[in-house]
């Protein structure tokens, strides 16, 4: 008796069949939209290297956030761009600092209808552009930085953040932040740990978006792109210290790392499709080299397929509209 040929293509013949057997679902609620709010401007300022992305005023930020929530986006990640910076990043902890004022406004507007996240890092607030305070030799002082992170976490929680997201890759940052939040009675504020944040070339456009003053690089505290096992060690430490969610950043160049982290993490895993990933798609689409909308959904689906339950992407609102028709 002749054995019939296997025909996997039978399940690809119609859109309905393909939807029925699809292994990976991408939903608007999986997506988080990063937003920039800048002090001292009266109108939004376009980010030239990220077409369609702007630095918002406090008022336009509120409108953009409401639009994203109406589109079904699952959360918002806020970054602040202050007018003045100093060596200690004091604007990050001041109650009326640009980021804390924005958090307060969005929490008042949106309440618990979305997840309001705050970037917890000093790079936007220091005049040297590093993610922490510097010692006398000009190196990032890990422990002195942790003291500021603790204060910053409490300020962000007080302003209304549901989630704080330490992105500086300081050793012990999750434990120090958790202790500070608990002491201040913000036990319900969650921590999204930037567990594997690589020293990537993909951050260039972001540095324009936050008007970064960085000279040099962050290779002494961000992860070496050559290393994957190191990410699992960082994961173990973050989980032991109390991280509620963990993240891999960037996303597409590190799908292998994302897959390994997702395989062993017992908390939700996030990935950040960063500014350089966004800008590459935009540049290629502008030249007609690829279909922008198809590439947006394909890349986001790939990130979900690799294991991310939450995806931070500048395409969040656009993708939500594509997914809902």
Give the pLDDT of the chain (325 residues) as one tens digit per residue. Answer: 566 667 888 899 999 999 999 999 999 999 999 999 999 999 999 999 999 999 999 999 999 999 999 999 999 999 999 999 998 899 999 999 999 999 999 999 999 999 999 999 998 899 887 888 899 888 989 999 999 999 999 999 999 999 999 998 899 999 999 999 999 999 999 999 999 999 999 998 988 888 787 776 787 888 999 999 999 999 999 999 999 999 999 999 999 999 999 999 999 999 999 999 999 999 999 999 999 999 999 999 999 999 999 999 999 999 999 999 8
Q: Which of 88, 249, 304, 318 is catalytic?
A: 249
**pTM of the prediction?**
0.94
Cβ neighbours of residue 295 under 8 Å, at least 6 residues apart? 281, 284, 285
Q: What does residue 11 show for φ and ψ, rounded to 5 degrees? A: -85, 10
CA distances from 93 to 56, 101, 154, 159, 272 (A): 20, 11, 8, 11, 25
Look up tokens 């963990």; give the residue: 246
Q: Which of 178, 197, 218, 304 is catalytic?
A: 197
Residue 219 near residue 199 (C-beta atoms within 8 A): yes
Instruction: Identify the structural domains of the chain with CATH numbers, from first to last.
Output: 24-246 (3.20.20.70)
Q: Is 249 a catalytic residue?
A: yes
């Amino acid at each position: 008796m002749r054995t019939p040929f296997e025909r996997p293509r039978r399940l690809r013949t119609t859109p309905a069949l393909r939807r029925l057997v699809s292994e990976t679902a991408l939903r608007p609620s999986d997506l988080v939209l990063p937003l920039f709010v800048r002090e001292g401007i009266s109108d939004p300022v376009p980010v030239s290297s990220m077409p369609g992305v702007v630095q918002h005023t406090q008022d336009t930020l509120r409108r953009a956030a409401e639009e994203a929530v109406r589109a079904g986006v699952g959360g918002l990640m806020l970054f602040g761009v202050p007018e003045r910076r100093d060596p200690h990043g004091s604007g990050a902890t001041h109650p009326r600092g640009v980021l804390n004022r924005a958090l307060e406004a969005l929490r008042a507007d949106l309440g618990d209808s979305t997840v309001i996240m705050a970037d917890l890092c000093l790079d936007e607030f220091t005049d040297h552009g590093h993610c922490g305070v510097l010692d006398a030799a000009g190196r990032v002082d890990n422990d002195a930085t942790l003291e500021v992170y603790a204060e910053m976490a409490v300020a962000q929680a007080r302003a209304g953040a549901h989630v704080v997201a330490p992105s500086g890759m300081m050793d012990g940052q999750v434990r120090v932040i958790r202790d500070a939040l608990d002491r201040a009675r913000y036990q319900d504020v969650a921590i999204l740990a930037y567990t594997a944040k690589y020293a990537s070339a993909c951050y260039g456009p972001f540095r324009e978006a936050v008007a970064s003053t960085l000279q040099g690089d962050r290779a002494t505290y961000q992860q070496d792109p050559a290393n994957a096992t190191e990410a699992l060690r960082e994961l173990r430490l973050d989980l032991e210290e109390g991280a509620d969610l963990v993240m891999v950043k960037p996303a597409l160049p590190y799908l292998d790392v994302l897959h390994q982290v997702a395989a062993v993490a017992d908390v939700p895993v996030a990935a950040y499709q960063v500014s350089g990933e966004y800008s590459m798609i935009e540049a290629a689409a502008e030249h007609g080299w690829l279909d922008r909308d198809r590439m947006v959904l394909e890349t986001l689906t790939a990130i979900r397929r690799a294991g991310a339950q939450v995806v931070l992407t500048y395409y969040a609102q656009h993708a939500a509209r594509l997914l809902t028709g």
